[in-house]
């Protein structure tokens, strides 16, 4: 069972101290700008005031949130101590046999970001835009980008508000508390306001995911690994009246060896989430509900690791099956959309991975570069050296990452008793080689050093020597199927046993091990 949490006053003090500079510097900035009021245009004065107040509100929010959070944690600790053997009673909504929707929290989060970050961006644009209006220079382009980004954040907040007001405080009502893998079923009803007809019904998805955090500070990295998932569509004819307006029936069959909810370790958590979506006129309905899945003292552990069949009408998938050492690597087919180019070179097989092989990542980093370097350029123009140095150094890392993802290429050659590889940018790089006799294993892996959800992080191929050294042969492979196929081909050429298991590689040499129950492979 989960252990009760213990609130720490040290964390409250740390956040308060961390927020004080933001509060002080924001207020100081406002005072300095007020002293220059006569030399500023009204638009510049308003922009300066908004920027300073947004900066100060960030610091005030950290200080207020730290004390409010500490009081909430103390109250939560009392509840957990009273129900040590029943963690499904630790949340107020779960104790009432329901899970509240996420839309209300999403609305609050959107407005916090729009108020602080959007306010800063729009104030920057207001301060520099009028001075460079009509000039064909980079500054006006930066001002337009900042304005559009700030406006997009406000538009997102408004959309979240419209969704919340339209569908109300939706919740998922449980038929059982808790849901147990021994009972094999998650069922209940989603209650929401709905004044329009969902012609295509409601799309439901239940998902078990493990979230792992390693490192700290700038080296902090969080990954999310989906362990099990199933989905189904509830037709509009099955929707019944409910206390809020409409009730959506929910019924899924769990695998008998399912992992249970676990929040006792903040750096390694497992959660079950029910997602709901429907296409309706205007703003579509989307929401999610975290549900309690626990083994009670009456639960019986599964006798087999075989996954349970999905409920009727549902589509599901389990963790990808591990390809064992006895299976033939030729059984893995080449993906139709593979980016790798395979050719024969002097009796060796060459696998060439060109630039632009992961366009999604390249586009995301390009947008990040624009948004990040815009304020950096403005700091340079305004001679704000105190902020320019740390932001400028961070900008260099972002630009380096963009160049690597966009223009990086790699070559792997296998044959004639050795394997060679070269990674570089625009053809530049050094070649390394290793005899087949020194190769211990070659595996696809997910490098989460860059952070992000496991749905979008790239795959890579890693070689491990017999003396324990690791080498990355290629990275930024968008498809896991492509990575596994290339590994199977290289292992066949090198005369190695096929092993296409995907390893999760985290910073500081940490390797994520699969949970003790309910897995048949590693999911990426």
SS (H, E, C) 251-292: EEECCCCCCCCECCCCCEEEEEEEEEEECCCCCCEEEEEEEC
The most confident of 205-219, 220-234, 430-444, by mean pLDDT: 430-444
**Tokens 């009502």 map to which residue?**
173
Lowest mean pLDDT among 52-56, 137-141, 189-193, 304-308: 304-308
Q: Which of 312, 335, 306, 307 is nearest to 229 (CA)?
A: 307
What residue ranges do the domains of the chain occupy? 9-90+113-155, 171-317, 323-500
| Residue 117: band (very low, low, confident or very high) from pLDDT cuts 50, 70, 90 | confident
| Residue 305: band (very low, low, confident or very high) from pLDDT cuts 50, 70, 90 | very low
The pTM score is 0.55
- Helices and strands counted in the chain (H then E): 9, 19
Alpha-carbon distances of 388 from 49, 121, 379, 380, rounded to whole Å:
20, 16, 6, 7
Q: What is the pLDDT of residue 513?
A: 44
Tokens matching residue 10: 């040290």
User: In the predicted model, what is the mean pLDDT of residues 179-193?
Assistant: 86
Sheet strands side by side (includes 185-192):
98-100, 171-174, 185-192, 245-253, 240-242
Contacts of 38 (CB under 8 A, 6+ apart): none
Lowest mean pLDDT among 169-178, 265-274, 316-325, 448-457: 316-325
pLDDT higher than 90, residue 313 = no
| Residue 515: band (very low, low, confident or very high) from pLDDT cuts 50, 70, 90 | very low
Lowest mean pLDDT among 165-179, 327-341, 477-491: 327-341
Q: What is the pLDDT of residue 258?
A: 79
**Tokens 């140095």 map to which residue?**
389
Report yes or no: 489 and 469 within 8 Å, Cβ to Cβ: no
Q: What gap in Å lies between CA 462 and CA 477, rounded to an integer?
A: 12
pLDDT higher than 90, residue 68 = no
Q: What is the pLDDT of residue 352?
A: 92
| Residue 8: band (very low, low, confident or very high) from pLDDT cuts 50, 70, 90 | low
Tokens matching residue 352: 């060439």
| Residue 134: band (very low, low, confident or very high) from pLDDT cuts 50, 70, 90 | low
State which fold the 171-317 domain adopts: Immunoglobulin-like (2.60.40)
Q: What is the pLDDT of residue 314?
A: 42
**% of residues, the chain, pLDDT over 90:** 6
User: In the predicted model, what is the mean pLDDT of residues 331-349?
Assistant: 81
| Residue 499: band (very low, low, confident or very high) from pLDDT cuts 50, 70, 90 | low
Report yes or no: 213 and 268 within 8 Å, Cβ to Cβ: yes
Q: What gap in Å lies between CA 498 and CA 9, rounded to an integer?
A: 52
pLDDT higher than 50, residue 309 = no
Element (H, E) at 312: none
pLDDT digits (tens, 9 = 90+) for 450-468: 444 444 567 888 888 988 8
User: In the predicted model, what is the mean pLDDT of residues 386-399?
Assistant: 79
Q: What gap in Å lies between CA 273 and CA 303, rounded to an integer?
A: 26
pLDDT digits (tens, 9 = 90+) for 69-101: 777 777 777 777 777 778 888 888 888 898 998
**Pairing relation of β-strands 431-435 and 439-447?**
unpaired
């Amino acid at each position: 069972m989960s252990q009760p949490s213990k609130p720490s006053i040290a964390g409250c003090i740390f956040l308060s101290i961390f927020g004080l500079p933001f509060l002080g510097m924001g207020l100081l900035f406002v005072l300095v700008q007020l002293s220059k009021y006569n030399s500023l245009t009204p638009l510049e004065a308003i922009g300066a005031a908004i920027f300073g107040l947004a900066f100060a509100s960030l610091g005030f929010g950290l200080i207020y949130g730290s004390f409010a959070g500490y009081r909430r944690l103390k109250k939560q600790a009392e509840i957990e101590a009273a129900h040590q053997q029943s963690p499904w009673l630790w949340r107020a909504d779960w104790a009432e046999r329901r899970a509240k929707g996420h839309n209300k929290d999403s609305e609050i989060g959107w407005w916090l970001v729009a108020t602080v970050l959007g306010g800063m961006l729009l104030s920057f644009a207001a301060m520099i835009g009028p001075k460079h209006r009509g000039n064909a220079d980079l500054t006006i382009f930066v001002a337009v980008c900042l304005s559009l980004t700030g406006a997009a954040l406000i538009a997102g907040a408004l959309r979240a508000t419209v969704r919340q007001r339209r569908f109300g405080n939706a919740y998922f009502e449980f038929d059982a508390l808790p849901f147990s893998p021994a009972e094999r079923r998650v069922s209940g009803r989603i209650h929401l306001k709905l004044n329009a007809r969902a012609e295509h019904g409601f799309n439901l998805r239940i998902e078990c995911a493990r979230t792992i955090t390693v490192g700290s500070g700038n080296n902090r990295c969080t990954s999310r690994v989906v362990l099990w998932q199933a989905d189904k569509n509830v037709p509009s004819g099955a929707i019944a009246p409910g206390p809020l307006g409409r009730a959506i029936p929910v019924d899924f069959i769990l695998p008998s060896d399912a992992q249970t909810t676990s929040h006792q370790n903040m750096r390694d958590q497992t959660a079950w989430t029910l997602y709901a979506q429907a296409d309706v006129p205007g703003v579509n309905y989307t929401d999610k509900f975290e549900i309690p899945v626990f083994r009670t003292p009456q639960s019986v552990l599964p006798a087999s690791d075989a996954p349970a069949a999905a409920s009727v009408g549902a589509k599901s998938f389990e963790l990808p099956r591990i390809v064992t050492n006895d299976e033939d690597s030729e059984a893995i087919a080449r993906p139709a959309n593979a980016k790798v180019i395979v050719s024969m070179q002097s009796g060796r097989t060459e696998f060439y991975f060109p630039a632009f092989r992961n366009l999604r990542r390249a586009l995301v980093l390009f947008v990040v570069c624009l948004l990040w370097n815009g304020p950096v350029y403005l700091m340079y123009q305004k001679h704000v050296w105190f902020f320019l140095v740390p932001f400028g150094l961070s900008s260099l890392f972002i630009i380096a990452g963009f160049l690597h993802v966009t223009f990086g290429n790699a070559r792997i050659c296998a044959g004639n008793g050795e394997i060679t590889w070269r990674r570089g940018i625009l053809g530049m790089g050094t070649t390394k080689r290793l005899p087949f006799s020194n190769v211990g294993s070659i595996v696809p892996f997910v490098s989460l050093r860059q952070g992000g959800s496991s749905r979008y992080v790239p795959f890579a191929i890693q070689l491990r020597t017999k003396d324990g050294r690791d080498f990355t042969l290629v990275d930024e492979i968008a498809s896991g199927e492509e990575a596994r196929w290339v590994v199977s081909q290289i292992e066949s050429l090198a005369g190695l046993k096929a092993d296409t298991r995907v390893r999760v590689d985290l910073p500081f040499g940490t390797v994520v091990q699969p949970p003790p129950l309910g897995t048949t492979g590693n999911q990426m």
